[in-house]
Copies of this chain bind each other. A is one copy, B any other.
């Protein structure tokens, strides 16, 4: 099994992708990694590091797509970028997955255009992990499709369920439609139409509200990419906000140094469910391949976990199960 890793994506490349790849190779002796990016800088980063050279390969891709570049222009004009080259190798069967912490829009566009869609899928979607008190659950769509129609929503719900069950190990995943109230007739005309269209879907628990996200009432939170993207970024900001508020509180009330240490220890543990490093990346569901994207700030640990997610998607044949469930 060969997983291609974008060595020119994210805020800290080639360092974090290279270190993440080496770490993944150490954990899994049957894995091979293909680092895609500017060859010289990858080789430079590998200097002095210990790894099994028979399982770590390099594919030169001299162009870099910036995090803020316009996705469609970037993939059109930068044919020698790590994203276009890596996705092309995946399409050609030279590797079984492509993982990247790079420009999400460019990755989505490249995944859709180069890999194509699975049979029965109208549009691919980004499913994001979302922290809840029950552990990570998923939010779909997380920003790829800002508006969704009923049939698209049905496909996203089913793809989310397959991912939940076969990658996250959640039996009989429950789908909740994010809305302003629980009653069937709540929400916009679009939400009412979606509700009606997916009413009979096994595992559909109806409308859920904003307060039902962190509580983990559903396993798959179904929403459009506008709400999903806003909620995703909001959720990511919670740990930092709390850390700031706790620091401020400590400076304002009388506490002993050892109590501060204990509080930080407790809070660190309490906020562990919000640690996206542990899940590492989010999959593009519905593309004819395995394409996983991580946060721009992905650490080596996050990259390693993205690679592991990719392996799991391949081993569990998530795409085959999506096609079977949709049809």
| A interface residues with partner B (beta carbon < 8 Å) | 133, 143, 146-147, 178-180, 187-188, 191, 209-215, 225-227, 229-238, 241-242, 244-246, 248-250, 252-253, 255-256, 258-260, 262-263, 265-267, 269-273
B266 touches A246 (CB 8 A): yes
What is the bound-complex CA distance between A32 and B219, given in angstroms?
50
Copies per complex of this chain: 2
Q: Which residues of B contact A231 (CB under 8 A)?
A: 210, 230-231, 234
> In the complex, which of the residues B211, B258, B259 contacts A233, with contact meaning CB atoms closer than 8 Å?
B211
A134 CB, min distance to chain B CBs, angstroms? 10
With contacts A133-B241, A179-B230 known, what are 9 further pairs, Cβ within 8 A?
Answer: A146-B187, A180-B226, A188-B226, A210-B237, A214-B234, A231-B234, A242-B242, A253-B269, A255-B262
A105 CB, min distance to chain B CBs, angstroms? 9
B269 touches A263 (CB 8 A): no
A33 CB, min distance to chain B CBs, angstroms? 31
Please name 26 pairs of A and B residues whose Cβ atoms are closer than 8 Å in the assembled complex, sorted by A: A133-B241, A133-B248, A146-B180, A146-B188, A180-B226, A210-B229, A210-B232, A210-B233, A210-B235, A210-B237, A211-B233, A212-B237, A214-B241, A215-B237, A242-B242, A242-B270, A245-B271, A248-B270, A249-B270, A250-B266, A258-B259, A259-B259, A259-B262, A259-B263, A260-B266, A262-B263
A210 touches B188 (CB 8 A): no
What is the bound-complex CA distance between A18 and B246, given in angstroms?
35
Given A147-B188, A214-B241, do A180 and B265 touch, yes or no (CB 8 Å)?
no
Greatest chain B CB density within 10 A among A191, A233, A260, A272 is at A233
Q: Which residues of B contact A250 (CB under 8 A)?
A: 266
What is the bound-complex CA distance between A266 and B248, given in angstroms?
9
What is the bound-complex CA distance between A256 and B266, given in angstroms?
11
Q: Which residues of B contact A225 (CB under 8 A)?
A: 180
Q: Which residues of B contact A233 (CB under 8 A)?
A: 209-211
What is the bound-complex CA distance between A273 and B249, given in angstroms?
11
A269 touches B242 (CB 8 A): no
What is the bound-complex CA distance between A230 and B222, given in angstroms?
13
Q: Which residues of B contact A273 (CB under 8 A)?
A: 245
A315 CB, min distance to chain B CBs, angstroms? 31
Q: Which residues of B contact A238 (CB under 8 A)?
A: 214, 238
Q: Which residues of B contact A214 (CB under 8 A)?
A: 234, 237-238, 241
What is the bound-complex CA distance between A315 and B260, given in angstroms?
44
Greatest chain B CB density within 10 A among A209, A214, A262 is at A262
Q: Which residues of B contact A272 (CB under 8 A)?
A: 249
What 6 A-B pairs come out closest when comparing CB atoms? A210-B233, A259-B262, A210-B234, A249-B269, A210-B230, A249-B270
